[in-house]
Structure 1
Amino acid sequence: MKRRDFIQLSGLGIGALMGASIPVMGNAVPLEHLLEPGIDVATKKRLADIALNAAKSKGATYTDVRLGRYLQQYLFTRETKVQNVVNAESYGIGIRVIANGTWGFAATSNVTPEAIAKCAETAVAIAKSNAKLQKEPVQLAPQKGVGEVSWKTPIKKNAFEIPIQQKVDLLMNVNGAALKTGAAFVTSNLFFINEQKYFASTDGSYIDQDIHRVWPTFTVSAIDRTTGKFKTRDALSSPMGMGYEYLDGLASEKIAAPNGLVGYRNSYNMVEDATLAAKQVKEKITAKTVQPGKYDLVLDPNHLGLTIHESVGHPLELDRVLGYEANYAGTSFATLDKWKTKSFNYGSKLVNIVADKIQPNTLGKVGYDDEGVPSKEWDLIKDGVLVNYQAIRDQVAILGENESNGCCYADHWSSVQFQRMPNVSLKAGTEKRSVSDMIKGVDKGIYIIGRGSYSIDQQRYNFQFGGQLFYEIKNGEIIGMLDDVAYQSNTQEFWNSCAQLCDKDDYRTFGSFFDGKGQPSQVSAVSHGSATTRFNGVNVINTGRKI
C-alpha cells in the first residue's frame, strides 16, 4: 500500500495553503504552565518501551514511538492595542508500526501505561486490516539505532521565559515607531514554538529533542487620503530556529545593502525595520509604475527564498514526484525520467542547491528526523543538473538507495510522520561580490526585496512572483522605486537565467513558519538560504490597472 492509499483509508481532511492560517494545536493553558519541565527522560523511555513491547507482542515487525509535548505562544497587536495572547500546550503519543508488511498508526492523549499499550495494539490492528489491500510490502531502508541521545536547539534565551510585558512593550514600540514615522496602520506579531519530542524505535534509538523556533513580523500601511490609494510593507525578518536572542538586533548582524536598506542575519531589530517600513510605504504610494518588458533581476535573499521554496523545494519532494500529493497539492514537472538521465539542466552551471537539516539557526535544523535518522546535507541540483530528491526510509528504494535523507516529520504527536521539505538552499557564489558590485553590472534591471504575492501551477513549473520593494536599476545605479511589479517565467527557464551570485558574506535565510502539505493537512517550518542573486532577461509584467 502506498502512503497515499493509507492516508485515504485512515480518514481524510482538507487543510490550508502555506501561510493561509495560524494553526493553534493544543489547549489554552496558564502562562506559567509553559515553563513547567515536563516528565523526565527515564519516564519517557519507560512509556516508550511499553508501546514497543505491546506492538511486538501483537505481531509488529517494526515500531516507532513519538511522545510529544508541543508549546505555543502567539502575540497579536494593532496600533496601540493588544489584540490577543495565545498560550497553548498539547501532549500525547503517536505509535507507528509495520505489520504484515503494511503501515498502521494510532495516537492518544491518554499517556498512561494501559492507554499506551492499547494504542499500540490499535496501530497493529489497523496495519493488519490495511494489509488486505496491500500490493507490495513496505521497503524500509535500514537505520542503525543510535542508543540513548539528546539534542537541543542551541538557544541563548528561552522565549517562553521572557515576560509577556517585555514582549508587549517590544510590539508597542514597533507600532509606535511606525506610526510616528507616518504609517496609518500597523499590526505586529510574535510567534514562539517549542517542540519537546521523544522518539523511540525497535531499531534501538531513544532520542530526546528540545526544538525552539521564533518568528517576529509586522505589516505597515500608508494611505493617500486624497486618492484613497494605500500601500503596505511586511517585515523583512525571517523565522528562525533560535531563542529570543534573535530579537536583540545586534548591529554586528546587519548586512548593508544599497539605497539605505539593511539585511538581517541571526538577529533582528524589529523597531528599526518598522521605522524604515513606514518611510518606504509612503514612497511606494508615489512610486513610478513599471513598464513591462525584459529585465535583469537582482533578487534579495528575503525574496528569493520563496521562489526557491515553490520552484525547487516542492517539486523535488519525492512523494509529490510520485503523484502522492496530486489530489491536494499537485504533482511535479521534475519526474524520475529527468533525474535518471543525470543530465537534466534544472538551471545554469552556477546553480548549486542543497537540502539539509543542519544549517545553524534555521527552522529545519534538528539532531534527528521523526524516523530517528541523523540530520545531514545532500545535493539536489549540482552545477545546474538535477541529481537527487528529498526522500525518507520507505521511499529511497525507489531511487536505488538504501539510506534515508532524514527529512521525515510530523507536526504533532497525533499526526503520522511523512516526507517534509528540509531546508533547501542556493549556495553562495565563490567570487567576492557585494550587492553594490552586482548592481554596477546591470544596465536595465530591478532590485526586488521581500516576499509578495505569488502563483505557480500544479506541476511547479509556470509561475509569477511579486515582492515588497522594487527599485529600478539603470546603467549600474538605482534610480528610484517602482511599483506594480511581478515577474513571470517557468522553473527551468528561470534557473537557467541565473547569471551571478553574491558571496557568503551576503548569505541569509528566508523561512516559512507554517508550510502546509498532506491530507489531513500538516504544517512544518523550513528555511531557504541564499545570497543576493542575478537573473538575466526575465519577463516583468505590470500588475496595476493603468500604465
Structure 2
Amino acid sequence: MERRDFIKLGGIGMGGLMLPMSGIAISAEQLLDKPMDVAYKKKLADIALNAAKAKGATYADARIGRYLNQFVRTNENRVDNIVNTESAGIGVRVIANGTWGFASTSNMTPDSVAKTAERAVAVAIANSKFQTTPVQLAPVKGVGEVSWQTPIKKNAMEIPIKDKVDLLLAVNAAAMENGANFINSTLFLVNEQKYFASTDGSYIDQDIHRLWAPFTATAIGEKGFKQRSGLGNPVGMGFEYLDGLEKDKIHVTGASVGYGNSYDILEDAKLAGQQLKAKLKAKSVEPGKYDLVLDPAHLMLTIHESVGHPLELDRVLGYEANYAGTSFATLDKWQSGKFQYGSDIVNLFADKTQDYSLGNVGYDDEGVKTKEWDLVKNGILVNYQATRDQVHMLGQKESHGCSYSQSWKDVQFQRMSNVSLKPNEKDLSADDVIKDVEKGIYIAGRGSFSIDQQRYNFQFGGQLFYEIKDGKIVDQIEDVAYQSNTQEFWNNCTQLAGKSDYRLGGSFFDGKGQPSQVSAVSHGCPTTRFNNINVINTARNV
C-alpha cells in the first residue's frame, strides 16, 4: 500500500483496526465498476509472457488482479466504520536459469507490463547465483481460454449499504434485548477478479466472492463479564447466506445453532444474549478427564491447526521454520506408510472444490485445476498439500492445486487447501454421538487456543460448554479448555455424526509466509466425539 493510501484509510478508522485489507479507498458504487475486458487482459498477459521468454525465461505466468473489499462495523446502536477498497495490477513470475523470479506493477500499460516481466527475469538470474537445485515443475496441460465464478445468487457488493447497516444494527438489538450489555458486529465482503495466463497455454478468468459476518457480545455480572461470539461461518457465497432464505437449520441438542447454506444471524444474536446470562451464572468446570463432543463450529479450528498446517509440505520441509514453525508430521512418517495419525474412523481430506467453501475455486494461482485428495485415510497419514514445484519431492507427478497469492503484487506460494473430516457413512445425528457418553462436555464455537511450533502439543477453548451426564446434555458450564497432542487426540476419536450433520467452518484471514500473506480456507466436519481428553479449568489455571 502506498503511504498516502494508508493515511487515507487510517483517517477513516481502518488503520487503527489493523485490517488485512489493502488498496485505495473508493466509493461503494465503484465496487460495481465493470472489470477490465477479458480480451485486453489476454493482450497484456501475452505481452508479459513474450517479454519474459525473450529475456531467457523457460517458464512464465502472469496474474492480472482486481481485488475489492468492503468492511462495515457497528457497535450497539451506531455505525463505527465503513470502508471500501480497490487494488489492481499485474504480477509476473518466471523461471530463468532454473530459478524463480517475480515482479509486479500497478501500471498496466503495455510498456510497463513488458518491463515488469523483464525485471522478473533479471531477479531470477540474480537469484540463480545462490540456487543449488533447479526448480522442477510438475507438468500442467494448458486449458486455453476458460472462466469460473463463485456460484452466488446475490452479489453482496450490490446490496445497499443501508440494508447492511440495518441488518447489523438489528443483530446488535437482538443480542442486547436478550441479555448482552455490549456488542459489535461486522460484515466483511471480498471480491477477487483474477486472470491467470502461462506459457503452458492457459488463460483463466475467475470471479471469486467471499463473505463473513462475525459479532461479539458481552454481558456483565457481579463477578465480571462473559463474551460469546457468533456461530456463523465465513463462506464462499453471496448475500443469500444472510438473507434468511433457503434455511437449513441444524439445532444441536439445544446447545447451539449451526447452519448449512444459510445463517439466521438474528436468531444467533438472540441466543447469544440468552446464553450470556446463563454463562454469568454457570458453574466452573472440574478439571479432569472427559469425553468431548465437539460441534463443527468448534472442531473446524482444531482441524485447521492440528491437521491443515502440519500437512503443508513447505512446513514439513522446514521452509516456514523462521516464522510459522515446522511440523511433527515429517516425511519419514509418511514414507513408512504406517504412521497412525488418528483412529481407523478418521478420514481427513483436502478439497478446493467444496461448494460454499472459502477455498472453492476452479483453478489455483498456478493454473492447476482444483481437486480432492486424501491426507489421512483410515487413520494413516497418506499425503500432504503441495504445489507444482514441490510434488516431485514426494515422487508425485501432479500438483495438488493449492497455490495462492493474496494479491497481484504478492508472489503465489503453497497455502492450505480446504481440509475436512469425512462424516460417518451411517447418517448418525449429534444426539447419537452423545448418547453413549457417561461423563463428558459438549463444546461449540471457536475460542482461544495455543499450539507449539510443530503443531503437536495444544490447548483449545471454545464459546459454549455443556456438561454431559449419562448420554444427556445437562447444565451449561464455564472455564473449559482441553489439552492434548495431535496424534493422541485424533487417535482418541471414537464416533462421528453422519452426512446430514456435516458443516463447514472457516478462517477468513489465515496468515503465513514472509512477507506475511493472508488466505481464506474452510474446514468441514460433523459433530465428533473424542474420549478421555484432559480438561483444565482456565479460571484456576489448572
TM beyond 0.5: yes
Pick aligned residue for 2:60 from 59, 63, 69 = 63
Query: Counterparts of 1:11-22 in structure 2 under 5 Å?
Result: 21-22=18-19
The residue number in structure 2 matching 1:113 is: 110
**How far does residue 113 in structure 1 lie from its aligned partner after superposition?**
0.3
Evaluate the alpha carbon distance shift between residue 387 and residue 546 of structure 1 in structure 2; reply closer, same or farther with a 3 A threshold: closer
Decide whether the 8 Å contact of 2:256 with 2:444 is kept in 1: no
Decide whether the 8 Å contact of 2:247 with 2:260 is kept in 1: no
SS at match of 2:214: strand
Inter-partner Cα distance in structure 2 for 1:246 and 1:76: 18
The residue number in structure 1 matching 2:184 is: 187
Query: Counterparts of 1:6-155 in structure 2 under 5 Å?
Result: 21-155=18-152
- Structure 2 counterpart of 1:162, which letter? I
The residue number in structure 2 matching 1:450 is: 445
**How many percent identity over aligned positions?**
68
1:6-31 per-residue CA deviation (whole Å, 9 max, x = no partner) reads xxxxxxxxxxxxxx952111110111
Pick aligned residue for 2:285 from 290, 312, 328 = 290
1:262-299 per-residue CA deviation (whole Å, 9 max, x = no partner) reads 21111111111000000001110111100011100000
Decide whether the 8 Å contact of 1:22 with 1:514 is kept in 2: no
Q: Does 1:214 align with 2:217?
A: no
Decide whether the 8 Å contact of 1:26 with 1:88 is kept in 2: yes
SS at match of 1:172: helix
**How far does residue 50 in structure 1 lie from its aligned partner after superposition?**
0.4
- Structure 2 counterpart of 1:231, which letter? K
**How far does residue 439 in structure 1 lie from its aligned partner after superposition?**
1.4
The residue number in structure 2 matching 1:3 is: none
Q: Does 1:409 align with 2:400?
A: no
The residue number in structure 1 matching 2:416 is: 421
The residue number in structure 1 matching 2:499 is: 504
Inter-partner Cα distance in structure 2 for 1:40 and 1:289: 60
SS at match of 1:51: helix
- Structure 1 counterpart of 2:473, which letter? I
- Structure 1 counterpart of 2:278, which letter? E
1:478-507 per-residue CA deviation (whole Å, 9 max, x = no partner) reads 110110000000000000000000000000
The residue number in structure 1 matching 2:7 is: none
Decide whether the 8 Å contact of 1:250 with 1:269 is kept in 2: no
Inter-partner Cα distance in structure 1 for 2:189 and 2:252: 29
Inter-partner Cα distance in structure 2 for 1:344 and 1:182: 49
- Structure 2 counterpart of 1:192, which letter? L
Q: Does 1:474 align with 2:469?
A: yes
The residue number in structure 2 matching 1:11 is: none
Query: Counterparts of 1:125-524 in structure 2 under 5 Å?
Result: 125-224=122-221, 226-227=222-223, 229-250=224-245, 252-259=247-254, 261-524=256-519
Decide whether the 8 Å contact of 1:348 with 1:498 is kept in 2: yes
Decide whether the 8 Å contact of 1:465 with 1:487 is kept in 2: yes
TM-score after normalising by structure 1:
0.95
Inter-partner Cα distance in structure 1 for 2:256 and 2:135: 52
Evaluate the alpha carbon distance shift between residue 82 and residue 500 of structure 1 in structure 2; reply closer, same or farther with a 3 A threshold: same
The residue number in structure 1 matching 2:14 is: none
TM-score after normalising by structure 2:
0.96
1:230-251 per-residue CA deviation (whole Å, 9 max, x = no partner) reads 0000000000000000002346
Inter-partner Cα distance in structure 1 for 2:255 and 2:480: 21
Decide whether the 8 Å contact of 2:255 with 2:466 is kept in 1: no
Inter-partner Cα distance in structure 1 for 2:262 and 2:281: 32
Decide whether the 8 Å contact of 2:179 with 2:276 is kept in 1: no
Inter-partner Cα distance in structure 1 for 2:390 and 2:36: 34
- Structure 1 counterpart of 2:269, which letter? A
Pick aligned residue for 2:533 from 524, 533, 538 = 538
Decide whether the 8 Å contact of 2:459 with 2:484 is kept in 1: yes
SS at match of 2:95: strand
**How far does residue 260 in structure 1 lie from its aligned partner after superposition?**
5.3
**How far does residue 386 in structure 1 lie from its aligned partner after superposition?**
0.1
1:206-236 per-residue CA deviation (whole Å, 9 max, x = no partner) reads 0000000000110011001x33x10000000
What do you get for the CA RMSD once the two structures are aligned?
1.0
Decide whether the 8 Å contact of 2:136 with 2:392 is kept in 1: yes
Inter-partner Cα distance in structure 1 for 2:433 and 2:350: 26
Unaligned 5+ segments in structure 2 are 1-16
